[in-house]
Structure 1
Amino acid sequence: MIKITQKKYVVYQVFTRLFGNTNTTNKPWGTIEENGVGKFNDFTEKALKEIKDLGISHIWYTGVPHHAVINDYTEYGISNDDPDVVKGRAGSPYAVKDYYNVNPDLAVNVSKRLQEFEALILRTHQAGMKVIIDIVPNHVARDYKSISKPKGVKDFGEDDNTKISYDKDNNFYYIQNEIFKVPEWRNGYSPLGNEEYFLKDNKFKEEPAKWTGNGSRLAQPDMNDWYETVKVNYGVSPEGNKHFEVLPEGYENEDFKSHFEFWKDKDIPDSWIKFRDIALYWLDKGVDGFRYDMAEMVPVEFWSYMNSSIKMKNPEAFLLAEVYNPSLYRDYIKKGKMDYLYDKVQLYDTIKHIMQGHGKTDNIPPILEYLKDIEHHMLHFLENHDEQRISSSEFAGNADKGMPAMVVSATSSTAPTMIYFGQEVGEDGSENAGFGLPTRTSIFDYIGVPAHQRWINNAQFDGGQLTNEERNLRDFYKRLLNFTISSSALVGEYQDIHLYNRENTEGYYDKVLSFVRWSVDEKLIIVSNFDDTNAFEFDLKIPSSLIQKWELITGEYTFEDQLYKQFKSVLKVQNEIGMVDIKLKPLESFILKLK
């Protein structure tokens, strides 16, 4: 395992529009007036302090760049958005309309919306946390138009030659001799539900039609395509030919400074420059990092160019990417200079199956072994805006089932941990907001988040309306996350002892997981029970290889749980084999520290 000197990071993903909303109406397809909306100003000093005290180092403010919304802001010079190419009433945060400003919904004073966000950046820094926002390089809103861009900056597509399907420096791909057609709506779906709206006419002017964000080359995309967006061209022809330099062999071993130097004298596609300039603009505003949507749909060479430019300006920038193909992980980390990737397809999916009762903990150690060389770069999570809430009926149906999973997710590697706002109080995502289905808190509509609102307690941010179960769950998250950011062992060494105990320990089952973490001054035995009905008692065995590494001699050693300080056990070492008596209740975990 890679040795790291820093402490672990914990990212709090918050859907900015929803965080401070105290309106509980929750009408499907409700307007901003009916259902309410959160504001930048809702993140008060008190709110930020409570987030920080949860054990958070970074806040990812999701949905900040100005994206298409169904709301009239024409008095501020903002054009109305057409509901035929907007998902939901509040719009997708991944259909960005103006990268040089912020979502007007989030401002108390729309004319000063950028200043309000800048003030939030400052408050977040003063609270001791860093700021992450989204950049979505693969696609932009169908009707992208920046009214806030700096002098000399051109809009996406502004200089495109629309008479040809492709050119290296065109920002978009064009479908010649065809006009865009709105998708054919099926299964009773209609934009904005059944409500009439003056721009809702099943038409959107775009000639020639452009490729859709997910790569559809049809002038009339399917309703399940990313029809509200258009795909950005990075100098890759429709046939897949790259019209830019590729990184020389061995450059995966070079640092970001070498990557930056490599691109300085190269002919760069125009889209690369536009997104680099966007990133540098936000760094100048005080943003500390970015989460990149669907990064694997953009060439890795662009990321080398983009991320090396960012790191030259801020070497500590936090760069997190959505990449779902494990065969691409190492390229995007080493060549693309990403700091962190989602560990979804392997760890998250496996843990989810275990939580649902049809997976085995035996499958976790091989994943950690496969990722050993890049484990520090694989961010762990159990919820985010794309995934079902743990408490939802289609995931686990019970927030407590996330407790052992969270211990494993947060302590099994040196990688950052991420939680999604409301996860810490068991939010279940059961509201029917309009676009999309429940189980995921809607990112497309104006809605309230009930369990989270009980924690807000009318903007007091003190949990005053939480149930006892919700309060206890948040206490668990607070204890766990604060331990992870203070533990030297969790940025140290790892060794699996699960498979050893599966072979050698009576009463140790495939719903239990155990491993050890250690540093020079801290030694931990971590054991979790994923079973929600059965308690387990066994003598956990510590193999001789670990006894030797820990330099333990024959005798007895006391270990104390670090979560609740209520369980102690004794490690008995004899003949270089250790045994620890473990009594685990359903869904219980211990982080046992050598005293």
Structure 2
Amino acid sequence: MDSSTNHKHIIYQMFPRLFGNTNTTNKFYGSIDENGVGKLNDINDKALQELKAMGFTHIWYTGIVEHATMTDYSQFGIKPDDPDVVKGRAGSPYAIKDYYDIDPDLAVDVKKRMKEFEALVKRTHTNGLKVLIDFVPNHVARTYNSDAKPKGVRDFGADDDTTQAFSPRNDFYYTPGQAFVVPQGYNPGGEGFTSPLKDGKFDENPAKAIGNDVFSATPAINDWFETLKLNYGVDYLNNRECHFDPIPPVWQKMYDILHFWTEKGVDGFRCDMVEIVPAEFWGWLIPKLKEAHPQLIFIGEAYDPRIYGKYIFTGHFDYLYDKEGLYDGIRRLTRNEWNATIWDINKVVFYESKDFPEHMLRFMENHDEVRIAAPDFAGSPWLAVPGMIVTATLSTGPVMIYSGQEVGEPAVGPEGFSGNDGRTTIFDYWGMPELQKWVNGHKFDGGGLSDEQKQLRRFYSTLLNVAGQNEAFTHGNFYELMLANQHSRGFDERVYAYLRYTDVQRVLVLVNFSRYEREINIMLPRDVIDMMLLRGAIAFSDMLGDKVYHTINIEDGLYIKLPASGGVLLNF
């Protein structure tokens, strides 16, 4: 049994800074005035209705919380950030400057930025969708300074004893006697950016440890030098000795922060880099928040399959990224790499997440990964069709799409701090040219899309609605068919097959990762034929199209031609 639940979360990851931006300039290292920026108010009822119709149940609004930036908002009482410790003109959304505030870039009226967010939450709910936002627990911006914190809240580090490298009562880790040194060679904002604060220095003495567990005053340029690591009671320099009793101050501060956002109507959190925060903290935090809000969902960004179970059963996460398992295997198959094999999928099914498939979040794109249409991935969005079918239907767990994926956004060219790496920048002011064709001046009607892009978007819409509205996928069982078909006609390491079924619905999933059409004869094992009481002639209807396939005798299998880089969901 895959899951006891009767629903499937279908998540649209949206970066508001990019999503509503209709400016097409895209100047390298451009400013907010040159390249423009999307606003929360751009995400109107029509946009949300279109996403709802596409099959989505949740919107993950990425980069909502205020983070460090090179844009000056001092006229609004916001303290400027030193660009020497900011990555990109817009700044990283994972270098949080104030856990209690909204990124001013996203507001039409900066002074009313929280009200604009509250209106977006209400608008999202009114249109039948739930709201997810980021929670970044491991680190904060080097310039963290909360000017929006509720009365009585103490800022991180305000009560620290900075003479100690580690204390269980401190919020940060320190390097006593050493001042922080900006990595040599960093040129914030590029050649055209000037600021009185851009001097290659940042005043921090003693230096604090940084987010990627570097306990040094002189981090390298490839480190997360713009962030400060928070102290959850683990003494990393003393055999990772844990001090969890009494509860470290950071634990309670983080609870207060998430409680604040749940009171704003947020329905769940995508939690950043959960494995570098102790599982014991999550095991304390998540149940405590769910006492008052039992429907909250927690998604963890995780990368080590060996400890997935720990973060699900001890940490109480609802879902974890399935990146190192399913994503990596499907990426190799989609790229037609020489060592790609469908047995990588079976490794996930039978080993890595065998005991908790319903807890794994599947995807083929997110903000950290190369775009499917980028040359460094597949070069064509259509090559992802078989992978997306598997991603969406392999288990009852959630599936996620990254904004722009549905129209083939390729992320071509360098944007500024982000190089030409096939990823849409999270550090720079930018517009997504292909998504802008669907946004169409905030009409959200796809008026600028090509016929091929409209067809691609229809594929995603059909797939996601089928996955979210049919019980075989929302709470059905899984039966792997590759072992029974190793020697069947047309099968090799580029073809994959399985069943999803309940007592009242049965779906045969067939995908072909090969670049060529495949003629196959799929055999159902005797135990499946007997369990499902199958006899004689059977009709199979493709849920992704209008074709119907027939077999005269099910015991002889089903003959079918699978299109190159394609697949079918056969209801029978």
Q: TM-score normalized by structure 2?
A: 0.97
Alpha-carbon distance between aligned partners in 2 of 1:145 and 1:473, rounded to the nearest angstrom: 44
Q: Does the CA contact (< 8 Å) of 1:168 and 1:269 recur in 2?
A: yes
Whether contact under 8 Å (2:374, 2:412) holds in the other structure is yes
State the match for 1:201 in structure 2. Answer: 199
| 1:569–1:582 CA contact under 8 A, matched in 2 | no
Q: How many angstroms does 1:241 deviate by?
A: 4.1
**% same residue:** 46
* Mapping 1:93-104, distance limit 5 Å: 93-104=93-104
**Amino acid aligned to 1:239:** N
State the Cα deviation string for residues 225-275 of structure 1 (Å, max 9, x = none).
001000000011131444445xxxxxxxxxxxxxxxxxxxx6210000111
- The one-letter amino acid paired with 1:191 is P
Contact 2:409 2:432 in 1 (8 A): yes
SS at match of 1:379: strand
Q: CA deviation at 1:387?
A: 0.1
Q: Distance in 1 between matches of 2:305 and 2:240?
A: 23
* Structure 2 residue 327 is matched with structure 1 residue 348: yes
1:86 aligned onto 2:106: no
| C-alpha contact (below 8 Å) 1:407/1:589 kept by paired residues | yes
Question: 1:92, CA displacement in angstroms?
Answer: 0.3
- Assess if the C-alpha contact under 8 Å between 1:18 and 1:449 holds in 2: yes
Aligned equivalent of 1:409 = 391
Q: Following superposition of structure 1 onto structure 2, how do residues 15-164 of structure 1 map, counting pairs within 5 Å?
A: 15-164=15-164
Name the SS for the 1:454 alignment partner: helix
Contact 2:2/2:395 (<8 A) preserved: no
Give secondary structure in 2 for the equivalent of 1:180. Answer: coil
Structure 1 counterpart of 2:558, from 560, 568, 580: 580
Question: Aligned pair 1:314/2:293, yes or no?
Answer: yes
Q: Aligned partners of 1:526, 1:226: CA distance in 2, in Å?
A: 42
Aligned partners of 2:3 and 2:358 also within 8 Å: no
Q: Distance in 2 between matches of 1:353 and 1:539?
A: 25
Count of residue pairs brought into register by the alignment: 565
Q: Quick check: 2:322–2:362 contact (8 Å CA) kept in 1?
A: yes
Deviation at residue 566 of structure 1 after TM alignment: 2.4
Q: Which residue of 1 aligns with 2:209?
A: 211
Q: Is the 8 A contact 2:489 2:519 kept in 1?
A: no
Q: Quick check: 2:132–2:269 contact (8 Å CA) kept in 1?
A: yes
Structure 1: how far apart are the matches of 2:239 and 2:104?
38
Equivalent position amino acid for 2:472 in 1: A
2: distance between equivalents of 1:241 and 1:445? 36
Specify the SS of the correspondent of 2:5.
coil
**8 Å Cα contact 2:326-2:344 kept in structure 1:** no
Q: 1:550 aligns with which of 515, 528, 532?
A: 532
2:119 counterpart SS class: helix
Matched, 1:300 2:279: yes
Q: In 1, Cα distance between the equivalents of 2:438 and 2:547? A: 27
- Tell me if structure 2 keeps the 8 A contact 1:360–1:510: yes
CA–CA distance in 2 between the matches of 1:500 and 1:83?
Answer: 60
1:348, 1:312 → 2: CA distance? 33
One-letter identity of the residue aligned with 1:408: V
Match of 1:570 in 2: 551
Where 2:355 maps in the other structure, the secondary structure is helix
- Asked whether 1:427 is paired with 2:406, we answer no
Pick aligned residue for 1:222 from 220, 223, 241 = 220
1:190 corresponding residue in structure 2: 187
Partner of 1:474: 457
CA contact (8 A) 1:181 1:221 kept: yes
TM-score, structure 1 normalization: 0.93
Q: CA deviation at 1:578?
A: 5.1
* Paired amino acid for 2:326: L
Unaligned runs of 5+ in 2: none
Assess if the C-alpha contact under 8 Å between 1:431 and 1:441 holds in 2: no
Instruction: State whether structure 2 residue 479 is matched by structure 1 residue 495.
Output: yes
Match of 1:263 in 2: none
**Equivalent in the alignment of 1:260:** none
DSSP 3-state at the match of 1:183:
coil
Deviations 1:417-475 (A, max 9, x none): 00100000010011321012230000000001011001111111011111111111000
SS in 2 for 1:555: coil
Report whether the alignment pairs 1:284 with 2:263.
Answer: yes
| Corresponding residue of 2:229 | 231
Q: Distance in 2 between matches of 1:271 and 1:583?
A: 58
Moved more, 430-439 or 395-404: 430-439
Task: State the distance in 2 between where 1:59 and 1:161 align.
Answer: 41
